[in-house]
Chain A
Amino acid sequence: MRKESRYMRDVLKKQETMLGVSVTARKSFVEAMGGQRVLELVLIAVVFLVLVPFLGAHRVTDFAIFCIFALSFDLLYGYMGRLSFGHLLYLGVGAYTVGLSLRYVTTNPLLAIVLGVVAASLAGMAVGAVTVRVSGAAFALSNLAFNRVGWFLVMSPLKEITGGENGLSIRNLSFWLVNFRNPNFRFWFVLVALLGVFLFLRVLTASPYGVLLRSIKEDERRVRFLGYNTYFYKWITFVVAASIAGFAGALTALNYGYVNPNTLDVHANAGVVFACLIGGSGRLYGALLGGILYMLITNLLPIYFQRWEFVLGVALLLIVFRFRGGIWGGLEALRKSIVLRYNASSSKKGVSQ
């Protein structure tokens, strides 16, 4: 009985699709979206898994962490249109908070991660309250200035506890089942973290909030004349981006078992800007792709090329002058033109018939 009725339903469904009508169009669309999200996550996971045999789990973990950082940067730059040269500050705050709290506060790395994210978001709240008031070069440079302040604090007045140039080695990397000494554990942990961050940002940017961010990106003044205190929304977004960056920093510290002062190095900010540009800013996939490519270029090219930075430079020039949407944007445009051509040719056929 039951089998039959299911069979009947399938037949009906087939007829529906053959007729080109779908009775529950709306619902099935929503369902499809849910299904699509899962599929996206699986695909991303597969990409990282495929890389493991070639590069090793530790390095791929590093790539995934950088992708988390690039995603957080893309929220700020790609979606809200605010280019910061000081985003590494939050990576550093996350990393140092993990290192210090595992020394002085707790033996549980998970709690340390939470503390790292909280510290980065507090830093983001304080710095953002000042910097989101301006935009353009002033925004980029005021963030750079705060990043430098952070670097200075770690290197000089707080040297006793941060270890200054020597960095900080982390104790207590394992706790119950959580064992950050095991590279496979680290890999899976970070991969799940990346998927979580991606899903969160995917939902956020697809929501009405994402639309508001893009309207602020295009014309903030106009949004103010629609009754928005844009500072508030920019600040919230800045804090969210800082928190995710802090999360990436916390993971960096645990992945290496050591906090490197380079996590705070202002010069490294160029790297994440580059990653977003090459992949395509304002597209989460662009940030992922750019993150992976940037890590591949900086990790592998130096082995083969002495002047590997030359490749970076050429790629950047190509993007700025030729592919404004980055690689992902280029792929999107390609798909669009193929679909258009396909539609045009099929409608032509329709006419001739």
Chain B
Amino acid sequence: MELLVTEGLTKRFGGLVAVNEVNLRIKENEALGIIGPNGSGKTTLFNLLSGFFAPTKGRVVFRGKDVTRLSPEERVKMGMVRTFQLVSVFNSLKVWESLVPCIVWNSDIYHSLWKFMTTAVEEVRDNSIEALKLVGLKDYADSMTAELSYGDKRLLEIAFALAFQPKLLLLDEPFSGLSDVEIGKVLALLRSLKGKTTIGIIEHKISMIVDFVDRLCVMNEGRIICEGKPQEVLADPLVNECYWGKEEVVEEAPSSSAL
């Protein structure tokens, strides 16, 4: 069954068509990889799916409902949770505190407010530490988030998303800027989720996710130029033409990608 479908999704920035007539399908409980060179519109596509931007044209249908005009928070309520290409966590909070909004959350706004007013801090903290165990950050619970390494911040951001038990988890370049050890940690975590939830994952380097995903979409200049099983996609001459040469180009340093 299709969890998410887009129809003719298009986003223009002035003269630039960042996402062009994209018809994407994500099936329930599959892991879908989206690859493509820098600037091919991958992040913009996620921004359209998650409600960061309204599309210029086209529709987003999630769990059978047209969500094109819904706000980001409405989409989270329906079970679509994303992470950001540039890690986005709360640096001014302690690590356990930064999970508080994810843990106390309730889809009903008044119930949510009630929980905020009545739940004991100690209880939230316990739950938060449970969630941190899942991503291996338990020992840092009382550190400031600002002091975490980039890789650990990324794990923390994924912990944010997992706390919602999302139907659809959208990860934008979860490996960028990480060391090999850190990549291993994130990948192990994602493998443990595979088959249990639907994952959409953007990656810039094909080799990183080719073993992990069930299906690959290749984007170039705002369009999906090819999709299918990972091995089939890699064998496609079109993909090779636009992509292969660029694949192992110098990786961006984390500092430059953070800007």
Contacts and interface: CB of A to CB of B under 8 A. Distances in A.
Interface of A: 26, 30, 206-209, 211-212, 214-215, 217-219, 222-230, 232-233, 236
A217, A218, A226 — most chain B CB neighbours (10 Å): A226
Contacts of A217: 92
B92, B101, B105 — most chain A CB neighbours (10 Å): B101
Interface of B: 50, 52, 71-73, 76-77, 81-82, 88-93, 97-98, 100-102, 104-105, 107, 109, 112-113, 115-117, 119, 121-122, 124, 160, 164
A215 B90 contact: yes
Contacts of A226: 73, 76, 81, 101-102, 105, 160, 164
A228 B119 CA distance: 17
B71 A224 contact: yes
A232 B109 contact: yes
Nearest to A230: B73
12 contacts: A208-B115, A208-B121, A208-B124, A215-B90, A215-B100, A224-B72, A225-B52, A226-B160, A227-B76, A227-B105, A229-B71, A233-B113
Nearest to A29: B122
B109 A229 contact: yes
B92 A225 contact: no
Nearest to B83: A225
Contact of A208 (B72, B104, B160, B164): B104
A218 B91 contact: yes
A229 to B, nearest CB: 5
A306 B88 CA distance: 50
Contact of A219 (B52, B90, B112, B117): B90
A227 B112 CA distance: 11
Given A30-B122, A208-B119, A218 B93 contact: yes
A115 B82 CA distance: 46
- Top 9 closest A-B pairs, CB basis? A227-B76, A209-B116, A211-B100, A208-B104, A218-B92, A211-B97, A224-B72, A215-B90, A227-B73
A218 B100 CA distance: 14
A222 B160 CA distance: 11
B161 to A, nearest CB: 9
Contact of B88 (A30, A219, A227): A219
B221 to A, nearest CB: 27
Given A209-B117, A226-B160, A215 B101 contact: yes
Given A30-B122, A227-B73, A211 B92 contact: no
Contacts of B52: 225
Nearest to A223: B101
A204 B87 CA distance: 29
Nearest to A213: B116
A214 B94 CA distance: 11
A211 B102 contact: no
B50, B71, B73 — most chain A CB neighbours (10 Å): B73
Contacts of B77: 227
A227 B102 CA distance: 8
Contacts of A219: 88, 90
A218 B91 CA distance: 8
Contacts of B164: 226-227
B162 to A, nearest CB: 12
A214 B90 CA distance: 9
B113 A227 contact: no
Contacts of A26: 122
Given A30-B122, A208-B124, A215-B98, A225 B117 contact: no
A225, A230, A232 — most chain B CB neighbours (10 Å): A225
A208, A222, A227 — most chain B CB neighbours (10 Å): A227
B121 A206 contact: yes
Contact of B93 (A207, A214, A228, A229): A214
Contact of A215 (B50, B71, B93): B93
Nearest to B102: A226
Contacts of A215: 90, 93, 98, 100-101
B160 to A, nearest CB: 6
Nearest to B118: A207
A283 to B, nearest CB: 13
Nearest to A26: B122
Given A218-B91, A222-B88, A229 B73 contact: yes
B116 A212 contact: yes
B46 to A, nearest CB: 11
Nearest to B116: A209
B90 A228 contact: no
A224 B52 CA distance: 10
B3 to A, nearest CB: 18
A208 B102 CA distance: 11
Contacts of A222: 88-90
A352 B86 CA distance: 46
B90 A218 contact: yes
B116 A208 contact: yes
Contacts of A207: 116-117, 119, 121
Contact of B113 (A211, A218, A223, A236): A236
A214 B160 contact: no
Contacts of B107: 227
Given A207-B117, A214-B93, A227-B164, 15 more contacts: A26-B122, A206-B121, A207-B119, A208-B100, A208-B115, A212-B100, A212-B104, A214-B92, A217-B92, A223-B101, A226-B160, A226-B164, A227-B76, A229-B71, A232-B109
B109 A211 contact: no
Contacts of B97: 211, 214
